[in-house]
Protein backbone atom coordinates (compact mmCIF):
# COMPACT_ATOMS: atom_id res chain seq x y z
CA UNK A 1 0.00 0.00 0.00
CA UNK A 2 2.75 2.41 0.91
CA UNK A 3 4.22 3.97 -2.18
CA UNK A 4 1.05 3.41 -4.18
CA UNK A 5 -1.71 5.92 -4.87
CA UNK A 6 -4.59 5.68 -2.37
CA UNK A 7 -6.99 4.95 -5.16
CA UNK A 8 -4.85 2.09 -6.39
CA UNK A 9 -4.12 0.18 -3.21
CA UNK A 10 -4.18 -3.12 -5.05
CA UNK A 11 -2.21 -1.71 -7.98
CA UNK A 12 -0.53 -4.36 -10.12
CA UNK A 13 2.81 -2.53 -10.03
CA UNK A 14 2.90 -2.93 -6.26
CA UNK A 15 1.56 -6.44 -5.79
CA UNK A 16 2.70 -7.97 -9.07
CA UNK A 17 0.72 -9.53 -11.87
CA UNK A 18 -1.31 -12.71 -11.76
CA UNK A 19 1.40 -14.46 -13.76
CA UNK A 20 4.03 -13.43 -11.20
CA UNK A 21 1.85 -14.71 -8.37
CA UNK A 22 1.61 -18.04 -10.10
CA UNK A 23 5.37 -18.23 -10.56
CA UNK A 24 5.95 -17.42 -6.90
CA UNK A 25 3.39 -19.95 -5.82
CA UNK A 26 4.99 -22.69 -7.90
CA UNK A 27 8.41 -21.98 -6.45
CA UNK A 28 7.68 -20.90 -2.91
CA UNK A 29 4.57 -22.55 -1.53
CA UNK A 30 5.49 -26.17 -1.57
CA UNK A 31 2.74 -27.19 0.79
CA UNK A 32 0.17 -26.70 -1.99
CA UNK A 33 2.03 -28.76 -4.60
CA UNK A 34 0.14 -31.90 -5.38
CA UNK A 35 2.12 -34.92 -4.32
CA UNK A 36 1.79 -38.52 -5.34
CA UNK A 37 0.14 -40.72 -2.75
CA UNK A 38 -2.13 -37.99 -1.43
CA UNK A 39 -5.79 -38.84 -1.20
CA UNK A 40 -7.63 -36.95 -3.94
CA UNK A 41 -10.76 -36.50 -1.85
CA UNK A 42 -8.81 -35.02 1.06
CA UNK A 43 -6.92 -32.66 -1.24
CA UNK A 44 -10.16 -31.49 -2.82
CA UNK A 45 -11.78 -30.88 0.57
CA UNK A 46 -8.75 -28.96 1.78
CA UNK A 47 -8.77 -26.76 -1.31
CA UNK A 48 -12.54 -26.26 -1.17
CA UNK A 49 -12.20 -25.09 2.41
CA UNK A 50 -9.75 -22.42 1.26
CA UNK A 51 -11.99 -21.41 -1.64
CA UNK A 52 -14.85 -20.91 0.83
CA UNK A 53 -12.98 -18.31 2.90
CA UNK A 54 -13.71 -14.65 2.35
CA UNK A 55 -12.00 -13.04 -0.64
CA UNK A 56 -9.72 -16.04 -1.17
CA UNK A 57 -9.58 -15.12 -4.86
CA UNK A 58 -7.40 -12.16 -3.80
CA UNK A 59 -4.82 -14.36 -2.05
CA UNK A 60 -1.43 -14.82 -3.79
CA UNK A 61 -1.75 -18.58 -3.21
CA UNK A 62 -4.94 -18.83 -5.27
CA UNK A 63 -3.19 -20.03 -8.44
CA UNK A 64 -1.25 -22.78 -6.73
CA UNK A 65 -4.35 -23.93 -4.83
CA UNK A 66 -6.30 -24.08 -8.08
CA UNK A 67 -3.52 -26.14 -9.66
CA UNK A 68 -3.52 -28.56 -6.74
CA UNK A 69 -7.31 -28.84 -6.75
CA UNK A 70 -7.55 -29.63 -10.46
CA UNK A 71 -4.67 -32.12 -10.29
CA UNK A 72 -6.72 -33.96 -7.66
CA UNK A 73 -9.66 -34.12 -10.07
CA UNK A 74 -11.68 -31.24 -8.66
CA UNK A 75 -14.70 -29.81 -10.47
CA UNK A 76 -14.42 -26.30 -11.98
CA UNK A 77 -18.07 -25.61 -11.14
CA UNK A 78 -17.39 -25.90 -7.40
CA UNK A 79 -14.48 -23.49 -7.65
CA UNK A 80 -16.47 -20.87 -9.55
CA UNK A 81 -19.36 -21.09 -7.13
CA UNK A 82 -17.31 -20.86 -3.94
CA UNK A 83 -14.98 -18.09 -5.12
CA UNK A 84 -17.86 -15.96 -6.40
CA UNK A 85 -20.11 -16.52 -3.39
CA UNK A 86 -17.33 -15.60 -0.95
CA UNK A 87 -16.03 -12.60 -2.85
CA UNK A 88 -16.85 -9.54 -0.74
CA UNK A 89 -14.41 -7.14 -2.46
CA UNK A 90 -12.94 -5.66 0.71
CA UNK A 91 -9.83 -4.29 -1.01
CA UNK A 92 -11.80 -3.01 -4.00
CA UNK A 93 -14.26 -1.24 -1.69
CA UNK A 94 -11.36 0.52 0.02
CA UNK A 95 -10.08 1.60 -3.39
CA UNK A 96 -13.49 2.95 -4.33
CA UNK A 97 -13.92 4.88 -1.08
CA UNK A 98 -10.43 6.32 -1.46
CA UNK A 99 -11.28 7.50 -4.97
CA UNK A 100 -14.46 9.14 -3.71
CA UNK A 101 -12.54 11.00 -1.00
CA UNK A 102 -10.03 12.27 -3.55
CA UNK A 103 -12.83 13.41 -5.85
CA UNK A 104 -14.36 15.40 -2.98
CA UNK A 105 -11.14 17.36 -2.62
CA UNK A 106 -9.19 15.47 0.03
CA UNK A 107 -5.47 15.38 -0.70
CA UNK A 108 -4.28 11.97 -1.99
CA UNK A 109 -1.48 11.87 0.57
CA UNK A 110 -3.97 12.43 3.38
CA UNK A 111 -6.21 9.66 2.06
CA UNK A 112 -3.29 7.27 1.87
CA UNK A 113 -2.20 8.08 5.42
CA UNK A 114 -5.76 7.56 6.67
CA UNK A 115 -6.03 4.15 5.04
CA UNK A 116 -2.58 3.06 6.18
CA UNK A 117 -3.08 4.20 9.78
CA UNK A 118 -6.42 2.40 10.02
CA UNK A 119 -4.90 -0.76 8.57
CA UNK A 120 -2.01 -0.54 11.04
CA UNK A 121 -4.40 -0.25 13.97
CA UNK A 122 -6.33 -3.30 12.77
CA UNK A 123 -3.14 -5.34 12.33
CA UNK A 124 -1.91 -4.44 15.80
CA UNK A 125 -5.30 -5.29 17.32
CA UNK A 126 -5.79 -8.63 15.59
CA UNK A 127 -2.19 -9.83 15.14
CA UNK A 128 -1.80 -13.55 15.89
CA UNK A 129 1.85 -14.63 16.47
CA UNK A 130 1.06 -18.29 15.81
CA UNK A 131 -0.50 -17.56 12.45
CA UNK A 132 2.37 -15.24 11.61
CA UNK A 133 4.92 -17.95 12.41
CA UNK A 134 3.04 -20.38 10.18
CA UNK A 135 3.78 -18.17 7.17
CA UNK A 136 7.31 -19.52 6.90
CA UNK A 137 6.40 -23.14 7.51
CA UNK A 138 3.75 -22.92 4.80
CA UNK A 139 5.63 -20.91 2.18
CA UNK A 140 9.09 -22.35 2.73
CA UNK A 141 10.84 -19.04 2.00
CA UNK A 142 10.60 -15.31 2.64
CA UNK A 143 7.34 -14.05 1.10
CA UNK A 144 7.84 -11.42 -1.59
CA UNK A 145 5.24 -9.17 0.04
CA UNK A 146 7.26 -9.09 3.28
CA UNK A 147 10.34 -7.79 1.47
CA UNK A 148 8.15 -5.18 -0.22
CA UNK A 149 6.69 -4.05 3.10
CA UNK A 150 10.01 -3.42 4.83
CA UNK A 151 10.98 -1.03 2.04
CA UNK A 152 8.43 1.45 3.38
CA UNK A 153 8.70 3.45 6.61
CA UNK A 154 5.02 2.98 7.46
CA UNK A 155 5.24 -0.79 7.59
CA UNK A 156 8.65 -0.91 9.26
CA UNK A 157 7.13 1.14 12.06
CA UNK A 158 4.31 -1.41 12.26
CA UNK A 159 6.80 -4.27 12.63
CA UNK A 160 8.63 -2.40 15.40
CA UNK A 161 5.40 -2.00 17.36
CA UNK A 162 4.47 -5.63 16.84
CA UNK A 163 7.96 -6.80 17.86
CA UNK A 164 7.64 -4.91 21.13
CA UNK A 165 4.25 -6.46 21.81
CA UNK A 166 5.19 -10.00 20.70
CA UNK A 167 8.91 -10.54 21.48
CA UNK A 168 8.72 -14.32 21.04
CA UNK A 169 7.22 -14.28 17.54
CA UNK A 170 9.72 -15.91 15.18
CA UNK A 171 8.26 -14.20 12.12
CA UNK A 172 8.72 -10.76 13.70
CA UNK A 173 12.26 -11.53 14.86
CA UNK A 174 13.13 -12.64 11.35
CA UNK A 175 11.54 -9.50 9.92
CA UNK A 176 13.58 -7.30 12.25
CA UNK A 177 16.71 -9.05 10.97
CA UNK A 178 15.60 -8.39 7.39
CA UNK A 179 15.16 -4.73 8.26
CA UNK A 180 18.62 -4.65 9.81
CA UNK A 181 20.11 -6.41 6.79
CA UNK A 182 18.50 -3.75 4.58
CA UNK A 183 20.43 -1.04 6.44
CA UNK A 184 17.75 0.38 8.73
CA UNK A 185 19.39 -0.60 12.02
CA UNK A 186 19.37 3.06 13.05
CA UNK A 187 15.60 2.80 13.41
CA UNK A 188 15.77 -0.31 15.58
CA UNK A 189 17.58 1.42 18.46
CA UNK A 190 14.19 2.20 20.00
CA UNK A 191 13.02 -1.43 19.82
CA UNK A 192 14.51 -3.01 22.94
CA UNK A 193 12.96 -6.46 22.56
CA UNK A 194 13.86 -6.62 18.87
CA UNK A 195 17.59 -6.73 19.59
CA UNK A 196 17.70 -10.24 21.02
CA UNK A 197 19.59 -11.56 17.98
CA UNK A 198 23.34 -11.09 18.42
CA UNK A 199 23.91 -10.03 14.81
CA UNK A 200 21.14 -7.44 14.92
CA UNK A 201 22.12 -6.25 18.39
CA UNK A 202 25.74 -5.74 17.29
CA UNK A 203 24.64 -3.46 14.45
CA UNK A 204 22.22 -1.55 16.64
CA UNK A 205 24.80 -1.11 19.41
CA UNK A 206 27.37 0.16 16.93
CA UNK A 207 24.87 2.60 15.44
CA UNK A 208 23.74 3.80 18.87
CA UNK A 209 27.28 4.45 20.06
CA UNK A 210 28.11 6.30 16.86
CA UNK A 211 25.02 8.47 17.30
CA UNK A 212 26.02 9.37 20.86
CA UNK A 213 29.63 10.14 19.98
CA UNK A 214 28.79 12.10 16.84
CA UNK A 215 26.05 14.05 18.60
CA UNK A 216 28.34 15.48 21.26
CA UNK A 217 27.47 16.50 24.80
CA UNK A 218 24.73 18.88 23.68
CA UNK A 219 22.65 15.92 22.44
CA UNK A 220 23.30 13.54 25.33
CA UNK A 221 19.98 14.29 27.00
CA UNK A 222 18.20 13.19 23.83
CA UNK A 223 20.36 10.22 22.80
CA UNK A 224 21.27 8.55 26.11
CA UNK A 225 17.77 7.56 27.29
CA UNK A 226 17.13 5.72 24.03
CA UNK A 227 20.51 3.99 24.23
CA UNK A 228 19.90 3.03 27.87
CA UNK A 229 16.45 1.68 27.10
CA UNK A 230 17.85 -0.56 24.38
CA UNK A 231 20.86 -1.68 26.45
CA UNK A 232 18.96 -2.52 29.63
CA UNK A 233 16.50 -4.88 28.00
CA UNK A 234 16.50 -8.25 29.75
CA UNK A 235 16.90 -9.96 26.41
CA UNK A 236 20.00 -7.96 25.51
CA UNK A 237 21.74 -8.24 28.89
CA UNK A 238 23.97 -11.16 27.89
CA UNK A 239 24.84 -9.52 24.57
CA UNK A 240 25.77 -6.36 26.46
CA UNK A 241 28.18 -8.30 28.66
CA UNK A 242 29.70 -10.00 25.63
CA UNK A 243 30.37 -6.73 23.82
CA UNK A 244 31.31 -4.73 26.89
CA UNK A 245 34.41 -6.82 27.47
CA UNK A 246 35.84 -5.68 24.15
CA UNK A 247 34.40 -2.18 24.19
CA UNK A 248 35.83 -1.34 27.60
CA UNK A 249 39.22 -1.30 25.92
CA UNK A 250 38.13 1.77 23.94
CA UNK A 251 38.35 5.26 25.41
CA UNK A 252 35.25 6.32 23.50
CA UNK A 253 33.16 3.61 25.11
CA UNK A 254 34.45 4.51 28.57
CA UNK A 255 33.30 8.05 27.87
CA UNK A 256 29.80 6.83 27.01
CA UNK A 257 29.67 4.69 30.17
CA UNK A 258 30.66 7.69 32.24
CA UNK A 259 27.91 9.79 30.68
CA UNK A 260 25.32 7.06 31.09
CA UNK A 261 26.03 6.58 34.77
CA UNK A 262 26.45 10.22 35.78
CA UNK A 263 24.22 12.27 33.51
CA UNK A 264 21.06 10.16 33.34
CA UNK A 265 18.51 9.22 36.04
CA UNK A 266 19.20 6.06 38.04
CA UNK A 267 16.33 4.35 36.27
CA UNK A 268 18.21 4.73 32.99
CA UNK A 269 21.68 3.79 34.22
CA UNK A 270 23.26 1.31 31.83
CA UNK A 271 26.00 -0.25 33.93
Q: Pick from 65, 85, 105: which residue ends a domain?
A: 85
| Structural domain includes residue 98 | no
pLDDT of residue 268: 41
Q: Pick from 28, 63, 85: which residue ends a domain?
A: 85
Q: For residue 174, give the nearest of 150, 204, 203 by alpha carbon.
A: 150
| Structural domain includes residue 128 | no
pLDDT of residue 102: 96
State residue 243 phi and psi, 5-degree precision. Answer: -75, -30
H or E element: which one contains 191? none
Query: Cα(235)–Cα(249) distance, rounded to whole angstroms?
Result: 24
| Structural domain includes residue 48 | yes
Query: Cα(263)–Cα(266) distance, rounded to whole angstroms?
Result: 9
User: Does residue 171 come out as left (phi exceeding 0), alpha (psi in the -120 to 50 range) or beta?
Assistant: alpha
Cβ atoms of 158 and 130 within 8 Å: the answer is no
Q: What is the pLDDT along the chain (271 residues), one digit of tens a residue?
A: 444 433 344 444 443 444 444 444 444 444 445 555 578 999 999 999 999 999 999 988 899 999 999 999 999 999 999 999 999 999 999 999 999 999 999 999 999 999 999 999 999 999 999 989 887 777 677 888 898 999 999 999 999 899 889 988 889 888 888 888 888 877 776 566 555 666 666 666 777 777 777 777 766 766 666 666 655 554 444 444 444 444 444 454 444 455 555 544 444 444 4
| Structural domain includes residue 57 | yes
| Structural domain includes residue 162 | no
pLDDT of residue 83: 96
| Structural domain includes residue 41 | yes
Q: What is the pTM of this model?
A: 0.59
Domain that holds residue 20: 6-85
Q: Pick from 41, 66, 85: which residue ends a domain?
A: 85
pLDDT of residue 33: 54
Return contacts of 197-205, CB within 8 angstroms, 24+ apart: 197/173, 198/239, 198/242, 200/176, 201/236, 201/239, 202/239, 202/243, 204/180, 204/230, 205/230, 205/231, 205/239, 205/243
pLDDT of residue 194: 54
| Structural domain includes residue 19 | yes
| Structural domain includes residue 270 | yes
Alpha helices by DSSP H, the chain: 12-15, 18-28, 40-51, 62-71, 76-85, 90-103, 108-126, 129-139, 144-149, 153-165, 170-181, 198-215, 220-231, 237-247, 251-262
Domain total of the chain: 2
pLDDT of residue 188: 72
Amino acid sequence: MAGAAPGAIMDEDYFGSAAEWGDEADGGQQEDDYGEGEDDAEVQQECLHKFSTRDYIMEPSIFNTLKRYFQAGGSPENVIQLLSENYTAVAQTVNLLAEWLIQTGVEPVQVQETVENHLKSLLIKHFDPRKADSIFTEEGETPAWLEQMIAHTTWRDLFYKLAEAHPDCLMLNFTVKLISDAGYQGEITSVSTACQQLEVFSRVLRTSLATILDGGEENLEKNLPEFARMSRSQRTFQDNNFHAGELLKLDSFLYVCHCCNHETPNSLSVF
